[in-house]
């Protein structure tokens, strides 16, 4: 059994994990950098440990300090949240060597899915449909041959990729070598590994991802899908569950394929299998072996607390539900509230002078922000998430419109006005958008 969890993260996700622990009667330890001494997760945790100066590499990514904090406080488990060390296999290994439970998958599975080429090969072996592309790494010698076999346009992607970096499209043969070289250079500087692979470039896909949870012993469930097509620079902005593009049969079919794959792998913990979806076909792009930012919309429509499930599974207690007990109820939308200019997306750190979160039926705000809180400039600009649930998509959108008008965050710029624009748009109302829609909309409306 787990009795004390150290939360190796900050911001809204640290608070989210803390809430789940409190509900389960588990003691909590917050860790923080000197810049986060006043953060809400630090105030609410049972104990807290300062692990270093503001830069992430010296604090939230400092494995040494985090393990020391576990030893000092007697924490017997670590929840890594998302980002930071959540997909760091070495961290999982080190914790295990210290007899501390990592609330997540095995280090072996993190490694397997962390490398995009082995992830794709594994997905294919497990019966998951993948994007047509190169078998492995693409080199200067074989690039043209492979691109011709796949057919232009092609996408060159970093093997160690993340956050859309090291990704370049080649529309024709003439563009190929330049795209190849730029992708390699970007990959080398962003990930310290220049290796790239190649995929068919899909023109107008949606981004649809399936939530899975495995017990590590051969049982696994899926919790339906999320549509995260509304993106800017490959960063998700607005997410929906269910996808406006799928019907029940499609949902259950792709969900079952993913759950079966996780059973075969004996996957442990929460994970997300990401697809591009075009013309009725799913194409696997990657698997994230952690909790995602947008997990609350899945919780809204299933009523299942994913962090509770993660903790149960990590304690060896199995899943709390069976697949046929899961009921998908209504529709949920999440808006990511970033401390950014809503048009240019330039970060806007500073002090929140007034903060009023909306309420009412079907409304959830996950945020560590409060009046007087000073947003430090060192980290991700996500300061909160607004999650709205309704019995139907129409009801959910009506509620979201009301809730956006009620939300007040003064003193800094936020992305709230962007959502107020989007809620009035006809394509959004119709659920008719793909992964390029938002960039095109922003370009058109800024003229």
| Residues designated catalytic | 290
Binding span for ligand ADP by CB under 6 A among 71-79, 193-201, 304-312, 417-425: 193-201
Residue 346 CB partners (closer than 8 Å, separation 6+): 340
Contact of 233 with 68, CB cutoff 8 Å:
no
Residue 160 near ligand ADP by CB under 6 A: no
Residue 234: CB minimum distance to ligand ADP, A:
4
Q: Are 312 and 24 in contact (CB under 8 A)?
A: no
Query: In the complex with ligand ADP, which residue's Cβ is closer, 131 or 254?
Result: 131
Alpha helices, DSSP H only, in 32-104? 40-44, 63-73, 89-97
As a whole number of angstroms, the distance between CA 446 and CA 232 comes to: 14
Structure tokens at 399: 């509620």
Least distance in angstroms from the C-beta of 132 to ligand ADP: 9
Q: Is 199 in the site for ligand ADP (CB under 6 A)?
A: yes
Q: Binding ligand ADP by CB under 6 A: which of 11, 80, 104, 161?
A: 161
Q: Does 162 bind ligand ADP (CB under 6 A)?
A: yes
DSSP symbols for 196-235: EEEEEPPSS-EEEEEEEEEESSS-EEEEEEEEEEEEETTE
Least CB distance to ligand ADP at residue 141 (A): 22
List 18, 155, 254, 339, residue binding ligand ADP (CB under 6 A): 155
Number of DSSP helices (H) and strands (E) in the chain, helices first: 15, 20
Cβ nearer to ligand ADP, comparing 155 with 423: 155
Query: By CB under 6 A, which span of 106-114, 202-210, 379-387, 400-408 interacts with ligand ADP?
Result: 202-210
Pick the piece of the chain touching ligand ADP (CB under 6 A) from 38-46, 162-170, 319-327, 367-375: 162-170
Instruction: Identify the residue among 2, 42, 276, 357 touching ligand ADP (CB under 6 A).
Output: 276
Residue from 131, 179, 311, 423 binding ligand ADP (CB under 6 A): 131
* Residue 345 beta carbon to ligand ADP: minimum distance, rounded to whole angstroms: 16
For residue 183, the tally of other CB atoms under 10 A from its CB is 27
Greatest CA span in the chain, whole angstroms? Answer: 61
Q: Which residues contact 49 (CB under 8 A, 6 or more apart)?
A: 29, 30, 31, 32, 69, 72, 73
Beta-strand (E) ranges in 248-339?
A: 268-278, 281-288, 331-338
201 binds ligand ADP (CB under 6 A): yes
Q: Is 404 a binder of ligand ADP (CB under 6 A)?
A: no
Told to check if 438 binds ligand ADP by CB under 6 A, we report no
Measured distance CA(75)–CA(100) in Å, rounded: 8
Distance of closest approach, residue 258 Cβ to ligand ADP, in angstroms: 16
Distance CA 20, CA 24 (A): 6
Nearer to ligand ADP by Cβ, of 197 and 379: the residue is 197
The tokens for 218 are 């051969």
Q: Does residue 288 contact residue 272 with C-beta atoms inside 8 Å?
A: yes
Among 120, 184, 207, 413, binds ligand ADP (CB under 6 A): 207
Among positions 179, 285, 297, 404, the unique one binding ligand ADP when judged by CB under 6 A: 285
Q: What distance, in Å, lies between the first and last C-alpha atoms of the chain? A: 58
Kindly determine how many residues on this chain lie close enough to bind ligand ADP according to the rule CB under 6 A. 19
For ligand ADP, the binding residues in 102-121 under the rule CB under 6 A are none
φ/ψ bin of 408: left (φ > 0), alpha (ψ from -120 to 50), beta (otherwise): beta
CB of 135 to ligand ADP, least distance (A): 15
Minimum distance of ligand ADP from residue 212's CB (angstroms) = 16
Q: Closer to ligand ADP at the Cβ: 231 or 292?
A: 231
Q: Report the residue from 293, 435, 437, 441 that binds ligand ADP according to the rule CB under 6 A.
A: 435
Residues that bind ligand ADP (CB under 6 A): 131, 155, 161-164, 199-202, 205, 207, 231, 234, 274, 276, 285-286, 435
């Amino acid at each position: 059994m787990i009795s004390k969890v150290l939360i190796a993260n900050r911001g809204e996700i640290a608070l989210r994990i803390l809430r789940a622990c409190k509900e389960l009667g588990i003691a909590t330890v917050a860790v923080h950098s000197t810049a986060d001494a006043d953060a809400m997760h630090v105030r609410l945790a049972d104990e807290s440990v300062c692990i270093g100066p503001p830069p992430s590499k010296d604090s939230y990514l400092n494995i040494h300090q985090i393990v020391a904090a576990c030893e000092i406080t007697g924490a017997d488990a670590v929840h890594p949240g998302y980002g930071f060390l959540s997909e760091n296999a070495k961290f999982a290994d080190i914790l295990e060597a210290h007899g501390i439970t990592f609330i997540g998958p095995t280090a072996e599975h993190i490694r397997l899915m962390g490398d995009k080429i082995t992830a794709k090969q594994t997905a294919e072996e497990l019966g998951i449909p993948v994007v047509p592309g190169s078998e492995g790494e693409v080199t200067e010698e074989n690039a043209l041959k492979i691109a011709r076999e796949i057919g232009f346009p092609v996408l060159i992607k970093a093997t160690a990729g993340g956050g859309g970096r090291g990704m370049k499209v080649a529309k024709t043969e003439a563009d190929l070598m330049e795209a190849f070289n730029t992708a390699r250079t970007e990959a080398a500087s962003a990930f310290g590994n220049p290796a790239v692979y190649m995929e068919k470039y899909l023109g107008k896909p949606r981004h649809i991802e399936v939530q899975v949870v495995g017990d590590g012993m051969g049982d696994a469930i899926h919790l339906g899908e999320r549509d995260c097509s509304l993106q800017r620079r490959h960063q998700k902005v607005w997410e929906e569950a269910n996808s406006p593009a799928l019907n029940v049969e499609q949902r259950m079919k792709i969900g079952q394929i993913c759950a079966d794959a996780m059973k075969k792998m004996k996957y442990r913990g929460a994970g997300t299998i990401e697809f591009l979806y075009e013309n009725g076909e799913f194409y696997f792009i990657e698997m994230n072996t952690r909790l995602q930012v947008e997990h609350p919309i899945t919780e809204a429509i299933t009523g299942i607390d994913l962090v509770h499930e993660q903790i149960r599974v990590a304690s060896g207690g199995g899943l709390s539900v069976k697949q046929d007990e899961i009921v998908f109820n209504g529709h949920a939308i999440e808006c990511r509230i970033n401390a950014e200019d809503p048009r240019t997306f330039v970060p806007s750190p500073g002090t929140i002078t007034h903060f009023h979160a909306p309420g009412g039926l079907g409304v959830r705000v996950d945020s560590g922000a409060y009046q007087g809180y000073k947003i430090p400039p060192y980290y991700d600009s996500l300061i909160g998430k607004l999650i709205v649930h309704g019995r139907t998509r129409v009801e959910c959108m009506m509620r979201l419109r009301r809730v956006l008008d009620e939300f007040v965050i003064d003193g800094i710029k936020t992305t709230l006005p962007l959502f107020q624009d989007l809620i009035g748009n006809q394509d959004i109302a119709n659920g008719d958008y793909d992964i390029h829609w938002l960039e095109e909309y922003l370009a058109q409306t800024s003229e």
